């Protein structure tokens, strides 16, 4: 035990700020992203050094690329949610501080795995304004990514890169010093999160392959891909580090799930109606790729209910059509508007944002430093940066619609599974 504590003390000395000013948790509070990056550099330097002992080519081509990808870009939202979830629950000791930063790096590594594999599955050529990993790896080997040989090599190597990121994430969790009860809680959360991430990606692929999905399936996919993996589980890890009680943890998880689904619904809207100059991605790509979004499912359901064969034919023709023109896309937007699907999804996202705030208030003191920071972060995640007070939750929401979609989403907003 003494050796473990000495190792953790040495690690803390490398990643936490020194000199005048706040130290420990207070120092991280002042710059969470900076502290996560310092920790990531230390963790990844060790991983790459270990890889170099195995093989120089493997280290230079693959391990170094995984490290660079993890360090380069991204908003570090998952580590920030973990950190402020922990702080809102009252933890501030040195052991929790170091553990939170290391687990934040593990979350960044599992995100690297997800993004690298996602680009392979979507055949995306760019990521963060640079060649996607499978494209870059083909070039590194002197092959054209557009040739059969280059495409096969780049794809296969990128799968290995994603696998390596996942292995490093697991190793980082396993090697983080934690009290035994906390370790058991976090390992349970971590196992669930990994499987949920894969399940969400599979449902997304399945929806594209089969040409669409129901509103229930679309919400389930959004819950697995965004709400659980990106928001709820990081918050749960933070609560576990603070040894929060069951009631607090359940309320935090519920707040995170609502915010995460709201994020995905608003992201679906931006994918069709957003300005590419602001979103950083082409408008309409979700339609061209045949993404089974809730927005699309609601539009189809409403067109069917209204007997609008023209709208249904247009959605069928446009969904999954890689050659969709701007004129065609404008027609699809028109269907989303005319069926009321856009307005419906906007209302749902706003309601979910409000519920996230209410459930957070039930979990922690949002007037305290940690709670206040977490409240702002959840509002950012859910796309609600207005700061408005949520409407009272009197149990009457959704009565004016009475649709299957309403019941499905209400269920997704509700109870937290264990």
**Residue 55 near residue 24 (C-beta atoms within 8 A):** no
Domain limit, last residue, from 123, 145, 177: 177
Residue 94 has pLDDT above 80, yes or no: yes
Mean pLDDT of the chain: 87
Residue 232 has pLDDT above 50, yes or no: yes
Phi, psi of 142 (to 5 degrees): 80, 25
* pLDDT confidence of residue 17: 59
Task: Of 194-203, 217-226, 281-290, give the lowest mean pLDDT range.
Answer: 281-290
Task: Of 32-46, 160-174, 269-283, 343-357, give the lowest mean pLDDT range.
Answer: 269-283
Task: Clarify whether residues 242 and 145 are in a common domain.
Answer: no
Structure tokens at 177: 């010093």
Cα 42 to Cα 8: distance, rounded to the nearest angstrom = 12
Residue 1 has pLDDT above 50, yes or no: no
Highest mean pLDDT among 66-75, 117-126, 332-341, 390-399 belongs to 332-341
Task: Clarify whether residues 352 and 206 are in a common domain.
Answer: yes
CATH value at residue 293: 1.10.600.10
Task: Clarify whether residues 140 and 205 are in a common domain.
Answer: no
Task: Clarify whether residues 120 and 189 are in a common domain.
Answer: no
Task: Clarify whether residues 167 and 203 are in a common domain.
Answer: no
Task: Clarify whether residues 365 and 242 are in a common domain.
Answer: yes
Task: Clarify whether residues 65 and 192 are in a common domain.
Answer: no
Overall number of domains in the chain: 2
Residue 403, domain member (yes or no)? yes
Dihedral through CA 209, CA 215, CA 216, CA 217, nearest 10?
Answer: 10
Cα 257 to Cα 407: distance, rounded to the nearest angstrom = 17
Question: Look-up: residue for tokens 């999905």?
Answer: 213
* pLDDT confidence of residue 405: 40
For the residues 74-81, what does the mean pLDDT come to? 95
Residue 284 has pLDDT above 80, yes or no: yes
Give 180's strand partners. none
Residue 410 has pLDDT above 50, yes or no: no
Task: Clarify whether residues 106 and 190 are in a common domain.
Answer: no
The whole-model pTM stands at: 0.87
Residue 140, domain member (yes or no)? yes
Structure tokens at 408: 């499905």
Task: Of 84-88, 276-280, 353-357, 411-415, give the lowest mean pLDDT range.
Answer: 411-415
Cα 11 to Cα 340: distance, rounded to the nearest angstrom = 55
* pLDDT confidence of residue 274: 87
Residue 257, domain member (yes or no)? yes
Name the burial class of residue 134, with classes exposed (0-12), middle (13-18) and buried (19+) by CB atoms within 10 angstroms of its CB: buried
Helix-then-strand count for the chain, H and E: 21, 2
Structure tokens at 282: 């082409």
Task: Clarify whether residues 238 and 209 are in a common domain.
Answer: yes
Domain limit, last residue, from 143, 177, 211: 177
The helix, strand and coil proportions of the chain, stated in percent and rounded to the nearest 5, come to: 75, 0, 25
Domain that holds residue 273: 180-418
Domain limit, last residue, from 122, 152, 177: 177
Residue 114, domain member (yes or no)? yes
Which pLDDT band, with edges at 50, 70 and 90, does 241 fall under? very high
Residue 13, domain member (yes or no)? no
Residue from 239, 206, 211 nearest 225 by CA: 206
Q: How many CB atoms are closer than 10 A to CB 322?
A: 8
Phi, psi of 131 (to 5 degrees): -55, 135
Task: Clarify whether residues 99 and 185 are in a common domain.
Answer: no
Cα 66 to Cα 160: distance, rounded to the nearest angstrom = 10
Task: Clarify whether residues 250 and 348 are in a common domain.
Answer: yes
Residue 53, domain member (yes or no)? yes
3-state secondary structure 157-196: HHHHHHHHHHHHHHHHHHCCCCCHHHHHHHHHHHHHHHHH
Which pLDDT band, with edges at 50, 70 and 90, does 73 fall under? confident
**Residue 322 near residue 282 (C-beta atoms within 8 A):** no
Task: Clarify whether residues 213 and 116 are in a common domain.
Answer: no
Phi, psi of 23 (to 5 degrees): -130, 170
Let me know how long the chain is: 418
Residue 163, domain member (yes or no)? yes
3-state DSSP assignment of residue 127: strand
Structure tokens at 334: 């028109």
Residue 263, domain member (yes or no)? yes
For residue range 296-341, list pLDDT tens digits in order.
Answer: 999 999 999 999 999 999 999 999 998 999 999 999 999 999 999 9
Give the Å distances, CA to CA, from 230 to 28, 82, 321: 21, 10, 29
Cα 177 to Cα 4: distance, rounded to the nearest angstrom = 7
């Amino acid at each position: 035990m003494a050796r473990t504590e000495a190792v953790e003390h040495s690690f803390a000395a490398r990643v936490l700020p020194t000199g005048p000013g706040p130290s420990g948790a207070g120092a991280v509070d002042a710059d969470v992203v900076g502290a996560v990056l310092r920790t990531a550099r230390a963790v990844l330097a060790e991983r790459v050094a270990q890889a170099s002992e195995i093989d120089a080519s493997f280290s230079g081509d693959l391990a170094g690329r995984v490290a660079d990808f993890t360090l380069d870009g991204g908003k570090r939202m998952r580590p920030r949610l973990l950190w402020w979830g922990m702080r809102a629950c009252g933890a501030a000791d040195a052991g929790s501080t170091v553990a939170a930063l290391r687990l934040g790096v593990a979350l960044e590594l599992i995100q690297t795995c997800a993004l690298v594999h996602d680009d392979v599955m979507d055949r995306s050529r760019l990521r963060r304004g640079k060649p996607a990993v499978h494209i870059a790896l083909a070039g590194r080997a002197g092959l054209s990514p557009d040739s059969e040989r280059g495409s096969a090599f780049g794809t296969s190597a990128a799968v290995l890169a994603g696998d390596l990121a996942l292995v490093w994430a697991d190793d980082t969790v396993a090697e983080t010093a934690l009290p035994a009860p906390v370790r058991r809680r976090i390992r349970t959360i971590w196992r669930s999160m990994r499987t949920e991430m894969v399940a969400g990606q599979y449902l997304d692929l399945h929806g594209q392959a089969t040409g669409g999905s129901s509103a229930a399936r679309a919400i389930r996919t959004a819950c697995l891909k965004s709400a659980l993996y990106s928001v709820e589980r990081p918050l749960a890890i933070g609560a576990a580090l603070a040894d929060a009680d069951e009631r607090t943890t359940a309320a935090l998880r519920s707040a995170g799930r609502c915010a995460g689904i709201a994020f995905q619904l608003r992201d679906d809207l931006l994918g069709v109606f957003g300005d590419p100059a602001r979103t950083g991605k082409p408008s309409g790509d979700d339609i061209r790729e045949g993404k089974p979004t809730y927005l699309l499912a609601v539009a189809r359901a409403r067109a069917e209910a209204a007997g609008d064969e023209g709208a249904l034919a247009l959605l069928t023709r446009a969904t999954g059509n890689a050659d969709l023109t701007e004129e065609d896309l404008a027609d699809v937007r028109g269907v989303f508007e005319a069926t009321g699907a856009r307005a419906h999804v906007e209302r749902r996202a706003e309601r979910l944002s409000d519920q996230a705030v209410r459930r957070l208030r039930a979990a922690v003191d949002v007037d305290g430093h940690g709670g206040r920071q977490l409240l702002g972060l959840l509002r950012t995640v859910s796309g609600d940066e207005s700061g408005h007070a949520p409407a009272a939750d009197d149990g009457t929401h959704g009565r004016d619609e009475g649709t299957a979609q309403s019941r499905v989403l209400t269920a997704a907003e509700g109870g937290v599974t264990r």
